[in-house]
Structure 1
Amino acid sequence: MNGKMHQRNFVYKLLWHLVHTVFTIFKCIHDIYLQLECKLIEWRLGNRCEAQILDNLQKATAKLKKMPKHLTILLGTEEPSHNDLAKLVLWSLTAGISFISFYDVQGKLKMNEEELKESVKRILPKTANVIWHNPECSYKNGFSGPKIHVQVLTQKDGHKALVETCKNLSKSNLEISIQAVDEDLRKQYKFPDPDLGIYFGDYFNLCGYPPWQIRLTEFLNIPSHHNLKDYKLINVLRRYNKCEQRVGK
């Protein structure tokens, strides 16, 4: 009896090791295939000029049924690459996205915001307008041609907004409620709540992103924003297009 049980356990272990080995080999082959596919796409698209990239982006996004009005970018722990983030602004403008915000928990992008503005200015078509927002000032209407609103946020901006809301509600005669707090925060941010959020890196972490803004945000991943290719943004927009946002239903 014990001999049969020992033999049966040996067979089970052998089968388990066999399945594990097959799965490991399959995963390795799959990972190699994905890497080769990415390299092939990069090789095919690597020699295109900027006009061809924008034309391809416009054609690809024109086929989508829905586009985010506000795209928010979570840098995570990555060092900001101003040239690549500038491309995101231009590509978002081309895709018809009206608002884009960058959230950098480290605050480095905010400290060097002028460099980002210069990087955007170098690649922006003369007919297009980028409208930069910050909590201290507001923009004026009157821009002609395509435009996109841009905002750089840090963790401190979320703290400041809560402090200002507390001050505003304490001075007013309004009853303090969730609705009153929500309305005041919206007035401060001026941007609509983001529809789509892109985070970089292997792990999703909000890193203190203001939670009242992302109740309905769909978060999707791109491994890194360094040396970013347009097809990666297109893939994210296609994935977002397939998402069903139930808005709490």
Structure 2
Amino acid sequence: MALLYGLLWRLLLVLVHLHRTLVSWLRLRLRSWKGRLWERAVAALLLPVALLGFPDHQKKLNQNRDSNPSPVTGNRAASRRSQWLSDGQALEKLPVHIGLLVAEEEPSYTDIANLVVWCMAVGISYVSVYDNYGIIRKNNSRLLEEIVRQQQDLLGVDGSKYNVEFLSNGNDKHQHHVLSCRPVVKVLSPEDGKQSIVQAAQQLCRSVENKERTFKDISVSMLDTLLRESKNIPDPELVVKFGPIDSTLGFLPWHIRLTEFISLPSHIDVSYEDMLGALQQYASCQQRLGK
């Protein structure tokens, strides 16, 4: 009888877990659907006005008149750049390296590119983009194209002042230089997490086998050195996770001992205010570093 009660109890726990997961998914979809429905209604009412200020439409209107960008659009972009830089300087602390962990199956490259450009604009030097399925890495050229496009749309013609060094493989070869202060954008996948630890351990074993080192030379600090050399970027101080899953999903397990994690519901239709709120939350947190 006790065994039967135990099985029933486990079944109830599974049902409760499934119910919570379904409720979270429905809330996220409902919020996204409502937001898009409202945006479409407003767009339908204000379409004539919106078209006048829309950069792509304005560009088409000026093709036969003048090849120079619209002064209004340029002023708007300059104002945004100034505001974003001011927001970054107003924060008590700003991460040097931020990770964007996408815990959702279908990435939106436009929204991810927006996040990257916002991070660059407020003064963050390193941006890592990670998803558990490796989809973004397989399509890194598409993400790069979106970053370049969003630089032009969000930052205007002066967007070229924000250099990007795009790194997407284990050798960290420079695939593209968009710009001269050179923020670094790196695409990560699960291969850069646990797999990199395995590869570093194998490298140490081979060095012992080849008598380049002895087993007494192998230590945690040596493994740490190998792992950091393979990444060639500082540890992330902040990781912003997008999605309903409460997990790091294998994001650089060796490098996040002191990393602050902040969760947002989704990266789809994420706003600059959402991202700034996460940076403000990080700036106000006290990291005791184990003390």
Q: TM-score range, shorter-chain basis?
A: 0.7 to 0.9
> Structure 1 residues 81-90 or 122-131, which shifts more?
122-131
On the 8 A contact 1:155/1:209 being kept in 2, the answer is yes
Matched, 1:196 2:238: yes
Q: Distance in 2 between matches of 1:56 and 1:152?
A: 27
> What secondary structure, in the 3-state scheme, does the structure 1 residue paired with 2:251 have?
coil
Q: Distance in 1 between matches of 2:78 and 2:265?
A: 25
Q: Distance in 2 between matches of 1:99 and 1:106?
A: 22
Q: Higher helix proportion, which one?
A: 2
Residue matched to 2:113: 86
Deviation readout 1:193-223 (Å, 9 max, x if unpaired)? 1000100123421112231111000000111
Q: Distance in 1 between matches of 2:135 and 2:245?
A: 21
Cα RMSD (Å) of the superposition? Answer: 2.8
**Structure 1 unaligned residues grouped into runs of 5+:** 1-34
Q: Distance in 1 between matches of 2:78 and 2:269?
A: 18
How is 1:12-27 mapped onto 2 (pairs within 5 angstroms)? none
Residue from 179, 183, 187 that aligns with 2:229: 187
- The code of the aligned residue for 1:131 comes to E
> What secondary structure, in the 3-state scheme, does the structure 1 residue paired with 2:244 have?
coil
How is 1:156-175 mapped onto 2 (pairs within 5 angstroms)? 156-170=191-205, 171=207, 172-173=212-213, 175=217
Deviation readout 1:102-140 (Å, 9 max, x if unpaired)? 111011111111100000111221222110122124349
Residue from 126, 133, 140 that aligns with 2:160: 126
On the 8 A contact 1:54/1:91 being kept in 2, the answer is no
Deviation readout 1:68-96 (Å, 9 max, x if unpaired)? 00000110124111111111111111111
Deviation readout 1:20-40 (Å, 9 max, x if unpaired)? xxxxxxxxxxxxxxx99xx9x
Matched, 1:73 2:100: yes
**Structure 2 unaligned residues grouped into runs of 5+:** 1-33, 43-49, 54-72, 152-158
How many residue pairs end up in the alignment? 208
Matched, 1:61 2:95: no
How is 1:86-235 mapped onto 2 (pairs within 5 angstroms)? 86-124=113-151, 125-133=159-167, 134-139=169-174, 145-170=180-205, 171=207, 172-173=212-213, 175-235=217-277
Residue matched to 1:239: 281
Higher RCO structure (Cα 8 Å, ≥6 apart):
1
Q: Distance in 2 between matches of 1:97 and 1:119?
A: 19
- The code of the aligned residue for 1:178 comes to V
The TM-score normalised by the length of structure 2 is: 0.65
Q: After TM superposition, which residue ranges in structure 1, 4 or more long, deviate above 6 angstroms?
A: none
On the 8 A contact 2:148/2:178 being kept in 1, the answer is no
> What secondary structure, in the 3-state scheme, does the structure 1 residue paired with 2:183 have?
strand
The TM-score normalised by the length of structure 1 is: 0.75
On the 8 A contact 2:164/2:179 being kept in 1, the answer is no
Q: Distance in 1 between matches of 2:93 and 2:136?
A: 30
On the 8 A contact 2:165/2:178 being kept in 1, the answer is no
On the 8 A contact 1:195/1:216 being kept in 2, the answer is yes
